[in-house]
Structure 1
Amino acid sequence: MAENNRPAAEPLQKGAQAAQMVRGAVKTGKAIAGAAKGAAAGGPYGAAAGFVWENRKVIGKIIIAVIAFMMIPIMLICMLPSIIFGGLTEAFSPKDPGTPILNSSAAIDSNLTEISTTVSTVLSEGMADILQSIETDYASCTADGKEIINPYESSPNFNANLFVAQYCSAKNEDYASVSIADMEKILRQNKDKLYSYTKKEEQRTVETVTVTVTVDASTGKEKTTETVTTSIEKWMVYTVSYNGEAYFADEIFHLTAEQKKLADDYAQNLSLFLGDSMFQSLPEGYQTIASLGTVRFTDGQTPVVYFNQLDERYASQPYGTDNIGGYGCGPTAMSIVVSSLTSDMVDPVEMAKWSYENGYWCSKSGSYHALIPAAAKAWGLPVEGCPASDGQKIVDALSNGKLVVAIMTKGHFTNSGHFIVLRGVKDGKILVADPASRDRSGMEWDLPLILNEASTHAAAGGPFWIIG
């Protein structure tokens, strides 16, 4: 009992700072459910959970003040990784000293940029290493040629929220050592686990064209003759794979099952708070629907083929180790786009398979945002990212018969993250194709509502992608 009776000035100060940090940040209340799940996980965990329990009597007083401001449990603040929000020891950031950290977009964005840059840098180094390994392997074989299939050639895909969450969970009670530099050190020490590759040998028929130019002696004119010869060559085909955040949990951070659960809830809290829509999943207990058959919308500028991820034909089909019904809004949205704008009829099952095989599936999170431009390009469709600040550009694109994929955050379309397709304009309203709702797909929507509920931290050029 003596340990718990020590002076409470320091924890009280930290708790008061935490309360000050959240004053007025009503948007944080979006994550209450996720925080409750995380708190229920119990056991060893990172950030300041140990501090909260040890000083629960003092914090009980702080909770009253916090609830008065926000109706949000103090545990949520403890669940937010200190490398993004500055922890409980500092209410204000030097980057924005006039605003509490949780309310400061400048401070949060600065930290997020540093984290993303750090992770991206290490991933790029890991990619360079794996490509060098491929070159070394190829040099030691007798193949006539090689092909490298690398979905991450243009940029790496990663869920920064889950990286941070797994790292913080791995720290157990050592929350004082949490830092971007420490996380970077751990990742860099394990670069060899970031990517892997598979290889297979193929026999390919190669055509060689020989051009012969001769001069006609009687006319003095040149005559060109082409000779085509074929040969069989041995090729090595290498496919690069990103081992994924789930692999990091096991092989880099060595998380227990309890820590993995906490990390997932941790990351969802962050995604909800930041509005980045990195988690795209339907609530537990969702219901599938009877087969819709063939559905086409013809009330917009472009006829649109509609698919629904909850359709009994698709819902239980695999999306990586998840399923399309719970996590497949991204592939379903792109099946709508591709089937509407090309001659190919691509259903959600085929698109989910393509997304998984090409590295755009993110375990228990849905899809990396890069799926949208990548799938568009793979089917030969022009694609251009667009910010939420350029609503007129979106309207113009729709008016000209293009489709727009949007990544949405909590609001009318989702409780977390969700891809939808904007399919036209009618009487000043926006028409949509919502992969999870036939009813919402038949409604007309105000553009400001869609712009306001779009992701604020989308990757890969989002939150809107103009296609066609």
Structure 2
Amino acid sequence: MGEEKKTGLADAVETGASAAHTIKGAIKAGKAIPGAAKGAAAGGPYGAVAGAVWAGRKHIGKIIAVIIILLLLPVLFVLMLPGLIFGGLVNAFSPADSEAPVLNSETAIVENANDITFTINSILGEALDDVMARIEEDFASSGVDHMEIKNSYSSGPVFNANLIISQYCAARDEDFESISLDDLAAVLRDNKEHLYSYTSVQESREVTTEDPETGEETTTTETWIIYTIRYNGESYLADHVFALTDEQKKLASDYASNLSTFLGDGLLQNMTEWTGNSIPSLGDVTFTDGVTPVVYYNQLDERYASQPYGTDNIGGYGCGPTSMAIVVSSLTDDTVDPVEMAQWSYENGYWCDNSGSYHALIPAAAEAWGLPVSGCTTSEPQRIVDALSEGKLVVAIMAEGHFTSSGHFIVLRGVKDGQIMVADPASYKRSEQLWDLSIILNEASRRAGAGGPFWIIG
């Protein structure tokens, strides 16, 4: 190897190693890396790594350069996902620009993320068909009269793509060359029959029929089997599909946090600053300054904060059920507090372990309580204003900004003096402020699921 090549490689390695040291500490501390995630080419460790790969490529070829950098950074978020988020070792550079590393192409990374999400969604759809077939087989052999299937996922699978991606890559550890979307798909398909499970109970139902000629009524008893389908969740995948160690689970959690920050999707709703403390009971609070009186709940209220949400708690992870408790208690005759709504969310498959709630919780809970609901995007601000002016409520999933450092559900509850009133389930103070609609639109999730990032309810 010539002296010029040695120097170029040494520079690349030195730059990459320095970046690795910086980011490795951030990841081990469980911190997101916004500068890295946003691909700042000119500054920050993320840009330094991308530059190192790019510089090394000129001297020793892109594949060798990327492998060397990968080996230097065994826990680096942005390089632990090469085959999924960055296109793989042999595709380290954007197809649209051979001089631009994929690491610095937000468009390429988002397109890759979309492809991954579509693939996971398709496989989970196949797994739903599989569990339905198993239910049909069980019913056919039961000798029972009728069956009913309770399927919370009939409108589509519910999952956290970021966690699945991160768990898969953590499971592959330092075996970077094997990481690919095809490999992930193969792993999930091999375990398709385990992605969903079902429970069943038998019950007797009385049915009354009337003879059309005599008018005589006859009552008979039928036996029914009630099947309930449940997505086993990312925690099941971590334990049984990817077989992660505790260290790998922590790594996967940090990867998912960083990926969610980069994508701005609001999939991770955990109050990292919450340490188990609570606020004194707020008592019964109702905001009456809008068209619709709004019953307010706070997830940090001492009555709710330490109560369970799945295996998590409402204080750290319960913004979703608390927001829907606000909506249901305000728009129906039912009074449903955060504890009840958290239990409903868990039982119906909308709790996501260590991440809060799947976005599908919002339309599902609204429909369960008989409330009309429709999704709304950031390009439809007038729909939001009109809905609030009519007394409807709007649930929003927010990304990093004024309301959260990761993801957070809030309720938009009215319009006053051209600004938006909110019911923030984590802050009574923010709930008393007026907010520019532009702030809410700009900070709403950029990749919301289930029709979001806004849901108009009522």
Shared fold (TM-score, shorter chain, > 0.5):
yes
1:256 maps to what in 2? Answer: 245
1:77 aligns with 2:69: no
Aligned-pair CA distance for 1:147:
0.8
1:301-339 deviation line (CA, Å, top 9, x unaligned): 211010111111111111111111111100000010111
Q: Distance in 2 between matches of 1:159 and 1:62?
A: 30
Task: Report if aligned partners of 2:147, 2:226 keep a CA contact under 8 Å in 1.
Answer: yes
Aligned-pair CA distance for 1:91:
5.2
With over 3 angstroms needed to count, the CA separation of the structure-2 counterparts of 1:12 and 1:251, relative to structure 1, is farther
With over 3 angstroms needed to count, the CA separation of the structure-2 counterparts of 1:257 and 1:417, relative to structure 1, is same
1:289 maps to what in 2? Answer: 279
Aligned-pair CA distance for 1:13:
5.2
Q: Distance in 2 between matches of 1:192 and 1:406?
A: 34
2:163 maps to what in 1? Answer: 162
With over 3 angstroms needed to count, the CA separation of the structure-2 counterparts of 1:87 and 1:19, relative to structure 1, is farther
1:422 maps to what in 2? Answer: 412
Q: Distance in 1 between matches of 2:287 and 2:51?
A: 52
2:393 maps to what in 1? Answer: 403
1:322-376 deviation line (CA, Å, top 9, x unaligned): 1111111000000101111111111111111111111100000000000001111
Q: Distance in 2 between matches of 1:228 and 1:18?
A: 83
RMSD of aligned Cα (Å): 3.0
TM-score by length of 1: 0.83
Task: Report if aligned partners of 1:406, 1:463 keep a CA contact under 8 Å in 2.
Answer: yes
Aligned-pair CA distance for 1:250:
1.2
With over 3 angstroms needed to count, the CA separation of the structure-2 counterparts of 1:290 and 1:107, relative to structure 1, is same
Q: Equivalent of 1:300, from 290, 294, 317?
A: 290
1:181 maps to what in 2? Answer: 182
- Single out whichever of 315-324 and 98-107 deviates more from structure 2: 98-107
Q: Distance in 1 between matches of 2:234 and 2:173?
A: 18
With over 3 angstroms needed to count, the CA separation of the structure-2 counterparts of 1:173 and 1:254, relative to structure 1, is same
Q: What's the % identity of the aligned pairs? A: 59
| Structure 1: gaps spanning 5 or more residues | 1-5, 21-28, 41-58, 67-73, 213-224
TM-score by length of 2: 0.84
1:305 partner amino acid: V
Task: Report if aligned partners of 1:81, 1:164 keep a CA contact under 8 Å in 2.
Answer: no
Aligned-pair CA distance for 1:63:
6.9
Task: Report if aligned partners of 1:408, 1:414 keep a CA contact under 8 Å in 2.
Answer: yes
1:339 maps to what in 2? Answer: 329
Q: Equivalent of 1:265, from 238, 247, 254?
A: 254
Q: Is the partner of 2:242 in helix, strand or coil?
A: coil
2:129 maps to what in 1? Answer: 128
With over 3 angstroms needed to count, the CA separation of the structure-2 counterparts of 1:290 and 1:235, relative to structure 1, is same
Aligned-pair CA distance for 1:257:
1.0
1:11-160 aligned at under 5 Å gives the runs 35-37=27-29, 62=48, 75-79=76-80, 81-86=82-87, 92-95=93-96, 100-160=101-161
Task: Report if aligned partners of 1:80, 1:270 keep a CA contact under 8 Å in 2.
Answer: no
Aligned-pair CA distance for 1:141:
1.0
2:231 maps to what in 1? Answer: 242
With over 3 angstroms needed to count, the CA separation of the structure-2 counterparts of 1:331 and 1:181, relative to structure 1, is same
With over 3 angstroms needed to count, the CA separation of the structure-2 counterparts of 1:183 and 1:8, relative to structure 1, is farther
1:348 aligns with 2:338: yes
Task: Report if aligned partners of 2:320, 2:356 keep a CA contact under 8 Å in 1.
Answer: yes
Q: Distance in 2 between matches of 1:107 and 1:64?
A: 14
Q: Distance in 2 between matches of 1:61 and 1:389?
A: 31
Task: Report if aligned partners of 1:288, 1:310 keep a CA contact under 8 Å in 2.
Answer: yes
- Single out whichever of 307-316 and 100-109 deviates more from structure 2: 100-109
Task: Report if aligned partners of 1:96, 1:104 keep a CA contact under 8 Å in 2.
Answer: no
- Single out whichever of 330-339 and 169-178 deviates more from structure 2: 169-178
Aligned-pair CA distance for 1:138:
0.4
Q: Distance in 1 between matches of 2:217 and 2:332?
A: 34
1:229 aligns with 2:228: no
1:252 partner amino acid: V
1:120-139 deviation line (CA, Å, top 9, x unaligned): 11111111111111101101
2:348 partner amino acid: N
Larger radius of gyration: 1
1:434 maps to what in 2? Answer: 424
Q: Is the partner of 2:211 in helix, strand or coil?
A: strand
Task: Report if aligned partners of 2:87, 2:112 keep a CA contact under 8 Å in 1.
Answer: no
Q: Is the partner of 1:420 in helix, strand or coil?
A: strand
Task: Report if aligned partners of 1:15, 1:62 keep a CA contact under 8 Å in 2.
Answer: no
With over 3 angstroms needed to count, the CA separation of the structure-2 counterparts of 1:64 and 1:151, relative to structure 1, is closer
2:196 partner amino acid: Y
2:227 partner amino acid: Y
1:412 maps to what in 2? Answer: 402
Q: Is the partner of 1:84 in helix, strand or coil?
A: coil
Aligned-pair CA distance for 1:300:
1.2
Q: Distance in 2 between matches of 1:79 and 1:414?
A: 26
1:372 aligns with 2:362: yes
Q: Distance in 2 between matches of 1:258 and 1:17?
A: 24
| Structure 2: gaps spanning 5 or more residues | 33-44, 53-72
Q: Is the partner of 2:85 in helix, strand or coil?
A: helix
Q: Distance in 2 between matches of 1:15 and 1:183?
A: 32
1:203-244 deviation line (CA, Å, top 9, x unaligned): 1122223333xxxxxxxxxxxx74433222111111111111
Aligned-pair CA distance for 1:430:
0.2
With over 3 angstroms needed to count, the CA separation of the structure-2 counterparts of 1:371 and 1:207, relative to structure 1, is same
Structure 1 stretches of 4+ moved >6 Å: 14-20, 63-66
Aligned-pair CA distance for 1:95:
5.0
Q: Distance in 2 between matches of 1:347 and 1:269?
A: 32
1:209 aligns with 2:210: yes
1:176 partner amino acid: E
Aligned length: 418
